[in-house]
Structure 1
Amino acid sequence: MGVSERKKREFAKREDDILSCAIELFRTKHPSLVKMDDIAKHLEIGRGTIYLHFKSKDDLMARIQYEDYVRLRKRLEMALDEKTAIEMSRRAIRAYIEHCLGDKHMYVVAKQCGVNLNIENVSEDLRKMLTDERSNRLSLLEKIYKQAKQENLINSRGTYPNVAVAWGMIRGAVEVILDGHFQNEIKSEKAYLDTIEHVLFFGLFSGGNKGET
């Protein structure tokens, strides 16, 4: 291995170490309370070394959020292997919930990073990466929606209103678990997941105007 290649690997490893350290610190303290000095001290490196990798703490938090989004999208992509819109949707729902609840601390850290970062203080390259990744996720959800429309399973209220409402319902259902609401009342996680799917696909009420499209 040449000197140049070794330095590249060392640089990449140090960047991974910085990200891992930041995530661990953010797990125990809110990101707004953690300083770059805290990360540098924990890794026993100079603060200036961190700035060789990230222009600011906002840049660092944006990177954490970006990588979490990539992991989520890769899970969601598996839904496209299914043949029908119902199965695609069911697998996408499960993938999202497993992503959020499989590592609850990571989900919370990524969410807090996204809420607290100042996007104007994030490098242009990383901002573009975030924008492109959002487009990738929307494109994936659009494919599922279009499949449902081809199968005459969806209403006529439009792609984004439907996708936004469905996403909001699922995310809200996840937040209920993370925030500890109904923790004494919800005894079975599997039954809860089945209920999420049922309400999303068939609605909350058994009666009502079933003929509306």
Structure 2
Amino acid sequence: MTAPSLKQRQFQEREGAIICAALKLFDQDQWQQVTVADIASEAQIAKGTVYKHFASKEELCGRIMLDFHQGLLETFEQALPNANTLSLIRDMIRRAFDHYLAHPAAARVSYACRCNSFIQRLPDPLRVRGEELDSAFFGFFADVLLQGMRSGQIPQRPVEQLILPIHAIFDGAMGKIWRNEYQEIPDSDVSLEQFLDIITNFVIASIVAPIADDDLPGTTGHKDITQCEKSRLVSATH
């Protein structure tokens, strides 16, 4: 592989400085009011230089979001490789919380910009990267959940019926943390660590809870497992 030229290294370093400046300014409740001019000033470069790297603030936010999600996927891939499924899921949930709490500015940008309509407006390279990350996340979670179904730790059901509520619970928990509302129960003195344990335990309990065939409208329990999932379950047994 050819080493990058001095000009290429300088370009990459300047792009990194722009992202760092943006993240510093985005680490506040009113981050959406930050302008490209503000970012250029923080990075000590001309406003026009920012546009040599990012066509708009939206594109810069898209890059921050995708880098954040890439880091989250990488930390998932490092989760307890030999653990049983429920221990692995517990580890992944805590890793997700840790990742969000360790990168608050990037997490806020990601939370605000991750909708499909935003991703579709991004330049093709970023849009494709976003779609690939979405597919990778779903595939990773689906594999873990199907492993749990094969081992009997998780009742069989379509993986979408597990991934969607897990995502919703996590989002709600992060919202309470950002708004500092996780201690809102009267006469309670719940620490952040205790709150994370409560949420993690609730997610695990919801995953292993049996669901009757008629519990969800339009579903028929085991029969709703998609053909793709059936194929993966069958192939995994051979």
Q: TM-score, normalised by structure 1?
A: 0.84
**1:98 CA displacement:** 0.9
The structure whose RCO (Cα within 8 Å, separation 6+) is larger is: 1
- Letter paired with 2:27: R
Partner of 1:206: none
**Range with bigger deviation, 5-14 or 51-60:** 51-60
Q: How many Å separate the matches in 2 of 1:210 and 1:123? A: 44
Partner of 2:58: 58
Cα 1:211–1:107 change in 2 (3 A) is closer
Contact 1:64–1:113 (CA<8 Å) still a contact in 2? no
Q: How many Å separate the matches in 2 of 1:176 and 1:98? A: 15
- Computed over aligned residues only, the root mean square deviation of the Cα atoms, in angstroms, reads 2.5
SS in 2 for 1:81: coil
Q: Which runs of 5+ in 2 are unaligned?
A: 213-220, 222-238
Cα 1:191–1:34 change in 2 (3 A) is closer
How many pairs does the alignment contain? 205
Q: How many Å separate the matches in 2 of 1:85 and 1:134? A: 22
Q: How many Å separate the matches in 2 of 1:210 and 1:73? A: 29
- Listed as ranges, the matches of 1:63-212 within 5 Å are 63-79=63-79, 81-114=81-114, 118-183=118-183, 185-203=188-206, 212=212
Contact 1:186–1:192 (CA<8 Å) still a contact in 2? no
Contact 2:61–2:109 (CA<8 Å) still a contact in 1? no
**1:20 CA displacement:** 0.6
Q: TM-score, normalised by structure 2?
A: 0.76
**1:142 CA displacement:** 1.0
**1:82 CA displacement:** 3.0
Q: How many Å separate the matches in 2 of 1:210 and 1:34? A: 47
Please give the per-residue CA displacement for 1:43-79, whole angstroms capped at 9, x wherever unaligned: 3322221111112111101000001101111111122
Q: How many Å separate the matches in 2 of 1:103 and 1:200? A: 23
Q: How many Å separate the matches in 2 of 1:168 and 1:151? A: 25
Partner of 2:16: 16
Q: How many Å separate the matches in 2 of 1:80 and 1:142? A: 17
> Would you say 1:45 and 2:48 are equivalent positions?
no
Cα 1:78–1:44 change in 2 (3 A) is closer
- Letter paired with 2:42: H
**1:37 CA displacement:** 1.8
- Letter paired with 2:170: I
Q: How many Å separate the matches in 1 of 2:164 and 2:8? A: 41
Q: Which runs of 5+ in 1 are unaligned?
A: 204-208
SS in 2 for 1:156: coil
How much identity, in percent, do the aligned residues show?
A: 25
Cα 1:94–1:82 change in 2 (3 A) is farther
Partner of 1:35: 35
Cα 1:24–1:113 change in 2 (3 A) is farther
- Letter paired with 2:56: S
Please give the per-residue CA displacement for 1:140-199, whole angstroms capped at 9, x wherever unaligned: 111111111111122333111211112211232232222111426342333323322322
- Letter paired with 2:40: A
Q: How many Å separate the matches in 2 of 1:210 and 1:16? A: 48
Q: How many Å separate the matches in 1 of 2:29 and 2:166? A: 32
